[in-house]
Amino acid sequence: MTNTQTTKTYYDILDGLRGIAAITILVFHYTEMIYPDNYSINPLGHGFLAVDFFYCLSGFVIGFAYDNRVNTIGVMGFFKNRLIRLHPLVILGTVVGLVGFLADPFVDRNIFPHWGFIALAVIGSMLLIPTPFLPYRWGALFPYNSPSWSLLFEYLANILYIFVLSRVNKKVLLVFGVLSAGWLAFTAFKSGWLINGWDINTYADAFPRVTYSFIAGLIIYRYRFIWKNKLGFWLPLAMLMGVFFFPHHDNDWITESIIVIIIFPLIIIIGAGATATNLMRKFCLFIGRLSYPLYMTHITTVWIFGNYYAKYNPTGVKFFLITSALILFNLVFAWIAMRFYDEPIRKWLNRKKKK
C-alpha cells in the first residue's frame, strides 16, 4: 500500500488478490466442465466463491472511492462513472460470447434457436436484461457471457449504495451487515451451498450473496478495520488460495457461510494493511488491471471446451496441452482486450464526460 501526504492511498495488494481470484475463476470454470456436478473431486472445490470475494472487494473500493465525494459528483455522476468503468466489457463479453455460440463446432445444429431469439439475447446481454432461453447454456441468465450475472447484481449493489448505504451512518450500516449475514446464512442453509445465482432457477440466491459481501467491504472501509502489517502479499494470498482449494462436500453451507461472512473480510482487512515491494507491487497492479477483462471474456472458450470434452473425453498429454493452451489464450486475449479496447475506451469516455 502506498500512502504519502501528496498521493492518495492505493491498495495494491487488494488489486493483486483480485487478479488471483479472476485467474482462479478461469481455471475453476474449466475444472467445472471436467467434473460436472461433482464438486467434491474438483481440486478448486470452492473456486466459485471468488465471486463473493469480488463483491466484498467492491464494497471496500466503492467506499474508498466515493464516500467522501458522493455529494460532489451526485447520483448521475456516480452512475456515469460506474457505467464507464464496467459496461464496455459487458458489451465486449456479449460480442465474444455471440461469436462463440454461433461458431461452436461441438454442438448439435439441429437443436438451435431461431435468429430472433439469438438477436433478443444479444440485446438482453448488452443491457444486462436476463435472457435464459438459449440451448447449451444450462439456464444461464446471460447465455452468451454467463459471468454477466454478477455484473447485474454489482449494478444493483451500486444502486443500493448511492441511494441508501452512502446516506446511513456507521451504526446503521453495521446493523445492515448483521441482518444481511443472517440472510446469507439462511440462504446457504436452504440451498445447501452458495454457488447459486447465475441461472434462472437459482437467481434469487444472488441477492444475499451480493448484499452481505458488498456491505461487509463497506463496513471494513468505514470502520477502518485495516491491520497494518509487513506480511506483504503472501499471507492474504495463502489464505485466499486455501479457501479456493478447500475441499467441497455435500450440504457445505456452514463452511461456505464462514468463508464468506468471516474469512473473506479478514483477508481484505489483512491485505488492505499490507505493503508490497516494488516488483511485487507492479505484479499486483498488472494482474489487478487484467482481472476484469479476464473475468468478462473467458467463458466462451470454457463453453466450447465443455462441449468438446463431453464429446471426445480427451486424456493424457493431449488433455494437458489443450487445457494449458486455452488458459494461456484467455490470459493473452484478456491482455489484448484490456490494452486495446477497455482502457482506451474508458479514457475516451472520461474525456467526453468532462466536456
Q: So where are the chain's domains?
A: 12-354
What is the mean pLDDT of the segment spanning 82-95?
98
Task: With cut-offs at 50, 70 and 90, classify the pLDDT of residue 68.
Answer: very high
Comparison of pLDDT for 355 and 258, the residue scoring more? 258
What is the mean pLDDT of the segment spanning 326-333?
98
CA distances from 289 to 65, 75, 185, 339 (A): 17, 26, 32, 10
Name the DSSP letter for residue 248.
P
Given a cut of 80, whether residue 171 has pLDDT beyond it is: yes
Given a contact cutoff of 8 angstroms between Cβ atoms, the answer to whether 104 and 155 are in contact is no
Given a cut of 70, whether residue 1 has pLDDT beyond it is: no
Kindly report the CA angle at 293 between 305 and 127, in degrees rounded to 5? 90
What distance in Å separates the CA atoms of residue 238 and residue 234, rounded to the nearest whole number? 6
Q: Collapse the DSSP code of 81 into the 3-class scheme (helix H, G, I; strand E, B; otherwise coil) and give the result.
A: helix
**According to the model, what pLDDT value does residue 279 have?**
94
**According to the model, what pLDDT value does residue 109 have?**
85
Q: Which three cell numbers mark 29?
A: 470454470
What is the mean pLDDT of the segment spanning 1-12?
54
Given a cut of 80, whether residue 198 has pLDDT beyond it is: yes
**According to the model, what pLDDT value does residue 11 have?**
93
**According to the model, what pLDDT value does residue 6 have?**
34
The residues, any chain, with a CB within 8 Å of residue 79's CB and separated by 6 or more, are 158, 162
Given a cut of 70, whether residue 324 has pLDDT beyond it is: yes
Q: Which three cell numbers mark 49?
A: 466463491
Task: With cut-offs at 50, 70 and 90, classify the pLDDT of residue 8.
Answer: low
Task: With cut-offs at 50, 70 and 90, classify the pLDDT of residue 4.
Answer: very low
What is the mean pLDDT of the segment spanning 134-155?
97
What is the mean pLDDT of the segment spanning 169-184?
98
CA distances from 34 to 43, 64, 242, 299, 349 (A): 11, 39, 21, 14, 40
In the numeric block, the cell 464462514 is attached to: 258
Would the pTM count as exceeding 0.85?
yes
**According to the model, what pLDDT value does residue 233 have?**
95
Between helix 70-103 and helix 115-127 the angle, nearest 10°, is 160
Given a contact cutoff of 8 angstroms between Cβ atoms, the answer to whether 215 and 165 are in contact is yes
Task: With cut-offs at 50, 70 and 90, classify the pLDDT of residue 277.
Answer: confident
What is the mean pLDDT of the segment spanning 4-25?
82
Between helix 299-312 and helix 316-337 the angle, nearest 10°, is 160
Q: Helix (H) and strand (E) counts for the chain?
A: 14, 0
Name the DSSP letter for residue 133.
T
The average confidence (pLDDT) of the chain is 95
pLDDT in tens, 294-306: 999 999 999 999 9
With pLDDT > 90 as the criterion, what percentage of the chain qualifies? 92
Given a contact cutoff of 8 angstroms between Cβ atoms, the answer to whether 79 and 63 are in contact is no
The residues, any chain, with a CB within 8 Å of residue 231's CB and separated by 6 or more, are 270, 274
pLDDT in tens, 115-132: 999 999 999 999 999 999
Q: Which three cell numbers mark 74?
A: 451526485
Given a cut of 50, whether residue 30 has pLDDT beyond it is: yes
Name the DSSP letter for residue 247.
P
